[in-house]
Structure 1
Amino acid sequence: MADDIEGAHVSTQSSGDTPPPGSTQFGPDLAEVFGPSQQDGGPELVQLLTPEGERVEHPEFSFDLGDDAILGFYRDMVLTRRIDTEATALQRHGELGIWAQLLGQEAAQIGAGRALRPQDFVFPTYREHGVAWCKGVDPLDLLGLFRGVDQGSWNPADNNFGLYTIVIGAQTLHATGYAMGMQRDGVVGTGDPDRDAAVIAHFGDGASSQGDVNESFIFAASYNAPVVFFCQNNQWAISEPIERQSRIPLYQRALGFGFPGVRVDGNDVLATYAVTKAALNRAREGQGPTFVEAYTYRMGAHTTTDDPTRYRLSDDLERWKLKDPIARVEAYLRRNGVADDDFFATLQQEADDLGHRLREGCKALPDPQPLSIFDHVYSEITDELVAQRDGFAAYLDSFEGAHR
């Protein structure tokens, strides 16, 4: 696997595409900085497992784990999809207020999540259920947020996984600031693999158009912050297609800020793992930020309030179903005799058990006491907050039978 991702800034234009108006060819100076593959065109994107489940080689990245790890990735993806399916059904039955689906993006999330070390910190958006799974967050904690019975009070220090962010793109600034703090704490570039840490910020292609995201790029580049910007380009910013947001592939934007970018097949869990691992290693070693664009497709709706049939073609969805990230790993496992029917049957039972736990556990989540929201603002409550709490308590007491 590439130790230095600077040599891995690869071309991603598909066969027959022409550069958009106003674009320029990479000159020799940039080729010296970012490696020869940029000047030569290079592979279309980083891919190590084809949609048919065949292993392929890449000149700059490789998957350095064995089949046991691939079995683990497959299990992660299957169970993550089951979480997504159950949560969607719970919302349809009125048990959740809303749910942000990840259908089709399991490989991008599991590959990135399994590349993390325990000391790395994750700043997610609102769709990173697979990354949360990898970091040991109980899915019921996620359901509590979307059910409205948890104000995000679980302790991120338990698993180095930040709270879901609804304000689009804001988490990239949080991530960059946290990464700068890691530098000052002396946990970057020490050479100790159990100490050196990095930050990863997850966001979507739509968020890449936000000012917060671009501001975070500037700060990360200026301070050489140990942060990986991981963009899941699922090609739809709700109903807005990616071609209306950017005239060039998103990963190429990193050039303008002074750090490398890579586009990876986001439906290939092996490639996503390899690229993210290299980017995180680069950050931990003190070499600064990297932009990873995981090129994938949102096979579900943006959220359960969205109707994607109103703005996209069914032919596109059917074409991307052939690239399903779970199906391609299953094809590899079966073709190479890595897993048998007993394995798949056992995993199906585990998924069923998880689904049952989520259904019953979600309905049993207790409603919070209204005044408890004041307990999770500061470690020590302030006089101003006490006054606000007392005023709210008096308001609640004005209602007959109020519970607080």
Structure 2
Amino acid sequence: MNDQEAGTDGDETPAPAIPATEKRGLAGYVSVLRTPGLTVWAVVLVLQRVPVAMAPLALVYLGYAVTGSFLVGGLLVSAHALAEAAAAGWMGRRFDRRPPRGETALVLGAEGVFFLLLFVFAHQFSVALLVLLAALGGAVSAGTYGGLRSLLQRMVPAHTRPAALGLEETVSATIWAASPALVGVLVAAGAGTWPVGAMAVASFLGGLAALGLPRQSLLLASDQAGEAPKQRSSGRLWQFWPSLAQDGAAMFTLGAASVALPALLMAMGSGAALPGLILGAASAVGVLGGLVYGSRRWPRQRAHATGLLLVYCVLVGGVGLVSVLNEAYLVGAFFVAAGSIQVPVLMSRALVVQEQVPPQDWSFAFSSLYAAKGIGYGAAGLVAGAAISAVGPTWAIIACAAVALLVALVAGVCDLLRSRTGSHPAQPRNP
């Protein structure tokens, strides 16, 4: 989907009429599900996402099982997450230059090796070596997020790309919601190292399943012939930096609220189970929101993507504001309301980037967005934790939401101005 197909924000050319053959709503999802090769792609997606979603809790348990210290577990988690964020864009670039079948099989197999070494030799290796292996496990497959998304967008008909994105985000959100429970079951049934062993198995199976992916290359024929102009990765990042800033702001807001929510509710006298229930409800309505959002195409993509994020920040800030009333149900209502547009916020920005970046760079762009989200979420843990200690959970949520709101507003205005002044050159029509 490009600017001419989806409409622009302030551009002179109005969006054309929707083709008569285009399918919306449930029909769009049905069309995506009928795409040849989608079943294999979905299997690979699940097997790739499971180790990533298990890693935060699994590595904490591994560190504690080996050393008896949760600090070591935290080091492993940080090493994995930071390496993944740092490498995502650059590893995603490999998918733009190589056939996705071989690249996915290679990097998931390598990821499986690193996790297997952690599982088998955890008690023999030094802490420094464990940290290194965790970092390598995060970095080596970081590009598969963008690579698999780019491949899906190439596989489906152009008019169903929003629906395909909605299905992908739904699957990912479900995996992220279920993976902590899987880690808990494995620890209860065996030992603290078992979840990492399961991560290794999932990676290896994902690598094997990837051999059934389509043979097509994500590189356009014109690029292979050397006819398309080349652009440095730094130039591409500059092209869509407002989207990177906004995705980072969205995850910063979510991360800060998630960290502060238990302390906020405990201060109000609520039970220990309530934060988990609210977080689960927010995730569930987020999945539904993503499906609804992906069921149609939206005009003025840049403008309404920014608008969604601003509303999201306001709703999360409202969680802190209504907490002064000491009513847990109001806190929960605002958090769940914010959760209902969490997935659409991220989807809308992905669609903006897809319009701005030529198809031969989609993997790099999508992986860079993934890195921005990881950086935003990771920063939220540090900032919110310090803010809770300094000013309490109420003002921590309000302050973090206000910072994210400011970043979102500045980035959104810059993006709209750039689109109106022609800062984004016209992209070739997508296949």
TM-score (norm 1): 0.27
Q: Hey, which of these two has a bigger chunk of helix by percent? A: 2
Larger RCO (CA within 8 A; separation ≥ 6): 2
